[in-house]
């Protein structure tokens, strides 16, 4: 069958890889020649919704993508500016008659894509879009009546059923594309991959590193060495029990089909706790899918609570307490250690994300959107759907949310998930000499114990900014009239 298009552009966005790339595979199948492109958005890169960790990660991934293309005799057309203008200019230069890209469910991305699609079709060029960032599209796993799921457990059952009857293995895009990639000379002038500093972001060797090859190695090592123990180890921040693949799934340096295929293959023949660990990690991947389809079907969650009743919540305002939370100076060691990890490494363990979110929204009674935005600015895996879903779960404002009366006790969480205080010590050197259980609650030390350790609360480490029991009562008093039984919907 002859190719449908002479030259097609594959527009890369949050899919910075050559393997298991649906748009690239289809373009290579349907075109005589393929040009790969990425457009830098200076407004986004200099805005307040992204930060240094994710910019550094993306730029590292872009650099590797370019090298992979150059190793195949091609190049990445790296552009900067308005998407419509830049992609149209490239299409004219390379004489492209089609544009291929993978769908992004974020509201701003959908609006951007509509503009680009309209412009290309007005020029007489074809546009083709594909599901790639998620395993199942937002329309693929719905209730029998056709409406979207808003509770995770039934969604997961439906997702597993669809997957079992219609599996989506990784697509062989890299090999197919290699034969169709436009030669480097045909792509013309292109920008160098910029440094983060060009957009006001300081780089750090502590931030997660991006790149397709690294992502593949991490997946293989995790599935072979740690995924079987995932159910037992995933909640303990001092233990290397998680995959750390979330930044790679965010930037698309690894495909979701690749991850699902790897865990399902490992699941064959697995027994006992090993099988449970693999099933638990697969469930986490389905949580990611769940929040993506929530964002696609209920885009208002990007700005407002999913539960309309929660708009009536009366949040407090306290610049002092907000700063203590962001700086890791609340006086609760597990909270402060978690925020230190975030601020330094551009990543935070998932259990800790729940703890600090509960502390901000319940103990301090501050608006969850403050924390959500702060995470966006400082996480290398800052994904709108997952980040928003997690924050709304913790704040009891979202779909499938934690009950409003669930308020994490930071001391009990610390004792349970960092029992020996190893994680706390690694992040808060000022507490390194404190023994357990005092390291979870330094104010519990007697004056004699504190003096023997050379430790003084308020000098070496701050006293708690709130009393948890009193803060919990305050939160329940604020939440109950709005979200309690009998509250108006």
The mean per-residue pLDDT over the stretch 208-224 comes to 97
Residue 3: pLDDT over 90: no
450/453 Cα distance (integer angstroms) = 5
pLDDT at position 401: 76
The mean per-residue pLDDT over the stretch 199-217 comes to 96
Percentage of residues in the chain having pLDDT higher than 90: 95
Higher pLDDT, residue 3 or 34: 34
For the stretch 74-96, pLDDT in tens is: 999 999 999 999 999 999 999 99
Q: Which fold has domain 1-132?
A: Rossmann fold (3.40.50)
pLDDT at position 489: 47
DSSP E strands in 55-158: the ranges are 76-80, 98-102, 126-130
pLDDT at position 487: 64
pLDDT at position 175: 85
DSSP E strands in 131-227: the ranges are none
The mean per-residue pLDDT over the stretch 265-287 comes to 97
The mean per-residue pLDDT over the stretch 42-64 comes to 96
Q: Which residue has the tokens 């307490």?
A: 321
Write out the H or E segment, with its range, that includes residue 12: strand 5-12
The mean per-residue pLDDT over the stretch 31-46 comes to 97
Write out the H or E segment, with its range, that includes residue 246: helix 246-251
327/342 Cα distance (integer angstroms) = 10
Domain with CATH 1.25.40.80 in the chain: 134-172+211-297
Residue 486: pLDDT over 80: no
Q: Which CATH architecture has domain 134-172+211-297?
A: Alpha Horseshoe (1.25)
| Position 2 confidence tier, pLDDT thresholds 50, 70, 90 | low
Q: Which residue has the tokens 């949040």?
A: 315
Residue 58: pLDDT over 50: yes
**Structure-token pair, residue 101:** 């890209």
pLDDT at position 325: 98
164/242 Cα distance (integer angstroms) = 25
Does domain 308-482 fall into CATH 3.30.360.10? Answer: no
pLDDT at position 246: 98
Mean pLDDT of the chain: 96
Residue 207: pLDDT over 60: yes
Domain with CATH 1.10.579.10 in the chain: 308-482
Least Cα distance to 371 among 395, 341, 398 occurs for 395
57/60 Cα distance (integer angstroms) = 5
| Position 173 confidence tier, pLDDT thresholds 50, 70, 90 | confident
The mean per-residue pLDDT over the stretch 304-311 comes to 97
pLDDT at position 148: 97
For the stretch 313-356, pLDDT in tens is: 999 999 999 999 999 999 999 999 999 999 999 999 999 999 99
Burial string for 47-73 (b: 16+ CB within 10 Å, else e) reads eeebbbbbbbbbbbbbbbbbebbeebe
């Amino acid at each position: 069958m002859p190719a449908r298009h002479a030259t097609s552009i594959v527009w890369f966005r949050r899919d910075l890889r050559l393997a298991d790339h649906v748009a690239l595979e289809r373009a290579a199948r349907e075109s005589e020649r393929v040009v790969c492109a990425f457009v830098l958005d200076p407004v986004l890169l200099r805005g307040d919704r992204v930060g240094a960790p994710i910019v550094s990660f993306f730029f590292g991934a872009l650099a590797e993508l370019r090298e992979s293309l150059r190793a195949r005799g091609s190049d990445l057309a790296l552009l900067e500016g308005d998407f419509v203008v830049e992609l149209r200019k490239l299409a004219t230069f390379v004489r492209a008659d089609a544009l291929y890209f993978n769908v992004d469910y974020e509201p701003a991305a959908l609006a951007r894509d509509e503009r680009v699609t309209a412009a290309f079709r007005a020029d007489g060029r074809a546009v083709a879009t594909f599901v790639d960032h998620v395993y199942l599209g937002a329309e693929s796993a719905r209730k029998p009546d056709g409406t979207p799921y808003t509770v995770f457990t039934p969604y997961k059952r439906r997702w597993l059923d669809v997957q079992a009857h219609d599996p989506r293995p990784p697509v062989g895009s890299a090999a197919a594309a290699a034969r169709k990639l436009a030669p480097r000379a045909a792509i013309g002038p292109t920008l160098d991959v910029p440094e983060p500093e060009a957009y006001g972001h300081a780089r750090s060797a502590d931030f997660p590193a991006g790149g397709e090859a690294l992502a593949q190695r991490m997946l293989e090592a995790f599935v072979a060495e740690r995924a079987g123990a995932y159910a037992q180890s995933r909640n303990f921040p001092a233990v290397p029990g998680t995959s750390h693949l979330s930044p790679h799934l965010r930037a698309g340096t690894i495909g979701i089909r690749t991850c699902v295929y790897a865990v399902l293959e490992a699941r064959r023949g697995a027994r006992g706790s090993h099988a449970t660990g693999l099933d638990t990690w697969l469930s986490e991947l389905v949580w990611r899918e769940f929040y993506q389809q929530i964002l696609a079907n209920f885009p208002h969650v990007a700005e407002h609570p999913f539960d309309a009743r929660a708009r009536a919540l009366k949040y407090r305002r306290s610049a002092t307490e907000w700063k203590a939370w962001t700086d890791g100076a609340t006086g609760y060691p597990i909270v402060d250690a978690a925020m230190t990890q975030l601020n330094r490494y551009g990543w935070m363990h998932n259990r800790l994300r729940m703890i600090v979110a509960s502390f901000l929204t319940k103990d301090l009674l501050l608006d969850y959107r403050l924390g959500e935005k702060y995470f966006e600015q400082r996480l290398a895996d800052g994904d709108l759907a997952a980040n928003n879903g997690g924050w709304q779960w913790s704040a009891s404002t979202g779909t499938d949310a934690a009950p409003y009366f669930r308020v994490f006790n930071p001391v009990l969480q610390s004792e349970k998930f960092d029992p020996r205080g190893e994680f706390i010590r690694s992040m808060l050197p000022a507490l390194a000499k404190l023994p357990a259980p005092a390291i979870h609650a330094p104010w519990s030390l007697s004056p004699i114990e504190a003096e023997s350790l050379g430790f003084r609360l308020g000098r070496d480490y701050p006293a708690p900014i709130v009393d948890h029991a009193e803060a919990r009562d305050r939160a329940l008093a604020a939440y109950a009239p709005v979200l309690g039984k009998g509250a108006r919907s």
